[in-house]
Amino acid sequence: MAFKQVTSPHAHSAQNTAKVMQLVLLATVPGLIALTWQFGWGSFINIALASVTAVSCEAAIMRMRGRSVSFYLRDYSAVVTAVLLGLALPPLAPWWIVVVGTVFSIVVAKQLYGGLGYNPFNPAMIGYVVLLISFPIQMTTWITPLALLPLGTVHPGLIESLQIVFSGYTPADGVTGATPLDTFKHSSGLLADQIYAREPLFNQAMLAGAGWEWVNLGFLLGGLILLSQRIFTWHGPVGMLAALTLMSLIFWDGGSSSSPGSPLMHLFSGATMMGAFFILTDPVSSAVSNRGRLVFGALIGVLVYVIRAWGNYPDAVAFAVLLANFAAPFIDNYTLPRTYGHVDRRRATEKEDQS
Amino acid sequence: MSETQTTEIASSDAQASEISIAEIIKNGLWNNNPALVQLLGLCPLLAVTGSVVNALGLGLATLMVLIGSNTIVSLIRNHVSDAVRLPAFVVIIAAFVTCAELLMKAYTYELYQILGIFIPLIVTNCAILGRAEAFASKHHVGYAALDGLMMGLGFLLVLVMLGAIRELFGHGTLFASMQLLFGPDASNWVVQPFGDNYSFLIAILPPGAFLVTGLLIAGKNTIDAALKRRADANKERPVKGAKRIRTTGHIS
Amino acid sequence: MTLRSIGFNSAVLALFALVTSLILAITNDMTFERIAESERKAAERALLEIIPLERHDNDLLMDVHPVPEQYWAMLGLKKGGNIHIARDQGDPVAAIIPAVTQDGYSGAISMIIGINFDGTVAGVRVVEHRETPGLGDKIDLKKSDWILGFNGKSLLNPQQSDWKVKKEGGDFDQFTGATITPRAVVNQILKSLQYFENDRERLLTISAANAALEMEQAAQ
């Protein structure tokens, strides 16, 4: 009588890659709704455009590598990368921005390294950073949030948005503006209270900047759904958010003219929540063990704050995640979990038989 | 009589080194290219290839130093003991680099300012000491000089190609500011195939150097693989059908 | 035996050092004058771009005057700097003033500002900066001719309240996506103009003295 031979672990999970990816896609919906409500149809178009590009690139590369195209497309990982990039890009960015970024994400950052599971860096963030350093003007032009639109104007409708994206005509001046992090950083010489009183971006908001706080709340909600579904553990996000809070508390100094901003602003502005729940939780490019993820998340939190406060760019989630990706193997080396049946934790570099 | 003797000596020398002129040329330019295969001298390769003129300037300086050092090293190869060989080589290379630096300072001052520290740093380019040690110190002076020329050319070509690709995709120009090297007449050599406003900064910034270098290496490997496949296909195929195999007696 | 080989090797190395230093000495000697000439030209080029040769006849590199210490803060200088004065047949034409602003997006922006003795800007060049590529680096003439927009401006043109970027209600363009860098440059140029206004008389006296000296030398 022959038994089927299976290696351990013998436990089965109901999740496969495609299911996990589908859940992640679903969980971005609250954030997408918030983005569309506050900034118009731009993010929607970004996502659609990025998805089409990503799937075509993935299929083309798979064909070139002689692999089954349908098998690899069915795991949805290319679509997830595209959606995350589309969400991160400024709404109503010209179409070629989205296309160039997505091509870089899929072809260079993912497939050239060997495809899903082999990429040392988060593909969506590589695409974002390439765009940010190459086209700083387009990448820092953000749509004015709903609450701040001049009286009587609305965001362009879907048809008009498509025209803006594809024809390259830029929307009127009142429709674009700086982000809260940008505004805060540029208003040096003013007390935090004065900035909050002067800038409508802050005085029309409840927490951390009109529009942006809703987007962050949306991603927080989506992240909590994923957490409750055990798609990832709490360690990474908590590590990052705790470190960011701690850093901003230490350096807040009550809002003097040189303060880098309040903890609330740092938590609910920019890409904080999206980064915490959707970017650094990427299982491929993050640290592996729970302790490792805590350290990995904390490192990102610290880096985000350092670059935001004293760096050259107003937001820093993408840079911080990529730098932490570099460090992930190193973190893994020192945070190997205790193997079942062994007393002590081992380091990855230790020889097996030293007893 | 004496003439035949010298040719005999020369040919015996060549035989001793077991390398042909064609092989030296092929090694320098392709098979053993210092930049793409040996991956030597990557620091200047990555740092100064933002434009064709920078790449050309540094490539020419390296080429000059490489030819000079290879020649001299080969000339003295039988007169220096092992103990002082490396220090002597370093002295020779350093002297050539300093000469190149002075000459560039005198004749292409602006380019010298742009390339800055990377000219004196040619001293540390492993390709140069590597060739002195691995080739020039073992071969006849003619071969050594040719090897220097070919290795230098191989390095120069990769530099210029990197510079051209990065300049073209980063700035949308080609051959900009060539007057720094070729005098005022060269200022209108610049080509702008994508129009005035094109710019894709990542190609010019440091990450672009790594990306383009990686793609060039990948391109070379692809070509090599294709050549190998074709060569394999052209090899004699075993004849189909039954063959008689001798199974007794000596096989030697 | 060992001692002997050490001696021989040292002699060989010494010989090498000698020969190579000889080669270097010869090259140095051959290129010395040309290098000095090239260096002078390079130093002069930026100055000549602001005040071309048609407008003056003295050697700008020779006419150097340190900035008085009380004005260092106004010009943003930490270690002081030199002012060049251009003259045409003894009459003062313009002064080229070094200035640095720390208010850029990343680090110091150092520039030289040419100011005609009638108080108008002759030209501004950014000498060194570390602004973001693609955004703030348009202050560099290599990237954009924005900096030429200051030519001919003065403390009265535009009004002092309009020495700001357009976004803040002033007279000068900002770049798309970058306000901080142009604002810093505009402010520093304004401050330099004010410095010139304060120090103008002293510079005129120096210039007159130097002109007299030159005349004397020419007469000899």
Residue B69: domain span = 22-233
Amino acid B87: pLDDT? 86
Backbone angles phi, psi at C94, to 5 degrees: -160, 165
Please give the Cα distance from B53 to B179 (Å, whole number). Answer: 9
Residue B7 inside a domain? The answer is no
Q: How far is CA B139 from CA B11, B21, B73, B153, in A?
A: 12, 12, 10, 19
Please give the Cα distance from C162 to C182 (Å, whole number). Answer: 14
> What tokens were used for A144?
């004015």
Same domain, yes or no, for A219 and A277? yes
Last residue of a domain, one of A176, A208, A225: A176
Identify which of A28, A45, A53 has the alpha carbon closest to the alpha carbon of residue A104: A53
Same domain, yes or no, for A170 and A120? yes
Distance from CA of B101 to the nearest CA of C (A): 10
Identify which of A308, A302, A291 has the alpha carbon closest to the alpha carbon of residue A236: A291
Same domain, yes or no, for A120 and A229? no
The answer to whether A251 contacts chain B (CB < 8 Å) is no
Same domain, yes or no, for A141 and A207? no
A200-222 pLDDT, tens digit per residue, is 778 777 777 888 889 999 999 99
B167-177 pLDDT, tens digit per residue, is 999 888 888 88
* Burial class of residue A246, CB neighbours in 10 A (0-12, 13-18, 19+): middle
Last residue of a domain, one of A176, A206, A225: A176
Please give the Cα distance from A77 to B88 (Å, whole number). Answer: 58
Higher pLDDT, C106 or B1: C106
Residue A184: domain span = 178-336
From the list B80, B95, B109, which residue is nearest C23 (CB)? B95
| Average pLDDT of chain C, as a whole number | 86
> What tokens were used for C122?
């002759």
Q: Which residues contact A214 (CB under 8 A, 6 or more apart)?
A: A34, A37, A38
Contact B119/B48 with Cβ under 8 angstroms? Answer: no
Residue A355 inside a domain? The answer is no
Contact B181/B231 with Cβ under 8 angstroms? Answer: no
Amino acid A50: pLDDT? 96
B124-160 pLDDT, tens digit per residue, is 888 888 888 888 888 888 999 999 999 999 999 999 9
Q: Which residues of chain B are within 8 Å of residue C27 when distances are taken between CB atoms?
A: 98-99, 102-103
Residues of C with CB under 8 A from a CB of B: 5, 8-9, 12-13, 16-17, 20-21, 23-24, 27-28, 31, 34-35, 38-39, 41-42, 133-134
From the list B95, B105, B106, which residue is nearest C24 (CB)? B95
Residue B8 inside a domain? The answer is no
Please give the Cα distance from B14 to C46 (Å, whole number). Answer: 56
Residue B93 inside a domain? The answer is yes
**Residue B17 amino acid letter:** S
Same domain, yes or no, for A164 and A185? no
Backbone angles phi, psi at C85, to 5 degrees: -115, 130
Q: In A41-56, which positions are buried (b, 16+ CB within 10 angstroms) versus exposed (e)?
A: bbbbbbbebbbebbbe
Angle at the Cα of B28 from the Cα atoms of B27 and B34, rounded to 5 degrees: 110
User: Is it true that the peptide bond before C158 is cis, omega within 30 degrees of 0?
Assistant: yes
Pairwise CB contact (< 8 Å): C177 & A186: no
Please give the Cα distance from A144 to B179 (Å, whole number). Answer: 47
Residue A352 inside a domain? The answer is no
pTM here is 0.82
**Chain C, nearest residue to B176 by Cα:** C142
Pairwise CB contact (< 8 Å): B201 & A108: no
Angle at the Cα of A28 from the Cα atoms of A24 and A34, rounded to 5 degrees: 170
Residue B39 inside a domain? The answer is yes
Residue A5 inside a domain? The answer is no
> What tokens were used for C186?
């505009």
Residue A346 inside a domain? The answer is no
Amino acid C41: pLDDT? 84
Residue B19 has pLDDT above 90, yes or no: no
Same domain, yes or no, for A166 and A182? no
Same domain, yes or no, for A149 and A36? yes
Pairwise CB contact (< 8 Å): C177 & A135: no
Number of domains in chain B: 1
- CA C142 to chain CA mean position, Å: 16
**Residue B106 amino acid letter:** A
Q: Which residues of chain B are within 8 Å of residue A133 when distances are taken between CB atoms?
A: 201-202, 205, 207
Distance from CA of B229 to the nearest CA of A (A): 17
The answer to whether C68 contacts chain A (CB < 8 Å) is no
C19-49 pLDDT, tens digit per residue, is 888 989 999 998 888 888 888 888 888 888 8
**A50-64, B14-28, C26-40, C134-148: which has the minimum mean pLDDT?**
B14-28
Is ipTM over 0.90?
no
Residue A8 inside a domain? The answer is no
Q: Which residues of chain C are within 8 Å of residue A137 when distances are taken between CB atoms?
A: 134-135, 176-177
Same domain, yes or no, for A85 and A204? no
**Residue B25 amino acid letter:** I
Angle at the Cα of A246 from the Cα atoms of A240 and A248, rounded to 5 degrees: 100
Same domain, yes or no, for A238 and A313? yes
Residue A231 burial (CB count, 10 A): 19
Last residue of a domain, one of A176, A204, A227: A176
Q: Chunked in runs of 10, what are the mean pLDDT values of chain A (355 residues)?
A: 62 75 93 91 93 95 88 88 94 91 94 90 94 86 80 78 78 68 75 79 77 91 93 93 94 78 87 93 90 94 92 86 94 81 66 53
Please give the Cα distance from A220 to C153 (Å, whole number). Answer: 53
Q: In B195-220, which positions are buried (b, 16+ CB within 10 angstroms) versus exposed (e)?
A: eeeebbbbbbbebbbebbbeebbeeb
Same domain, yes or no, for A142 and A222? no
A41-96 pLDDT, tens digit per residue, is 889 999 999 999 999 999 999 998 888 888 888 888 999 999 999 999 998 889 99
Stated as kind and residue range, the H or E segment containing A206 is: none
Label each residue of chain C as H, E or C.
Answer: CHHHHHHHHHHHHHHHHHHHHHHHHHHHHHHHHHHHHHHHHHHHHHHHHHCCHHHCCCCCCCCEEECCHHHHHHHCCCCCCEEEEEEECCEEEEEEEEEEECCCCCCCEEEEEEEECCCCEEEEEEEECCCCCCCHHHHCCCCCCHHHHHCCCCCCCCCHHHCCEHHHCCCECCECCECHHHHHHHHHHHHHHHHHHHHHHHHHHHHHHHHHHHHHHHHC
Same domain, yes or no, for A90 and A237? no
Please give the Cα distance from A111 to A285 (Å, whole number). Answer: 14
Using the structure block, give the residue that is written with the tokens 């009286």.
A151
Same domain, yes or no, for A159 and A204? no
Number of domains in chain A: 2
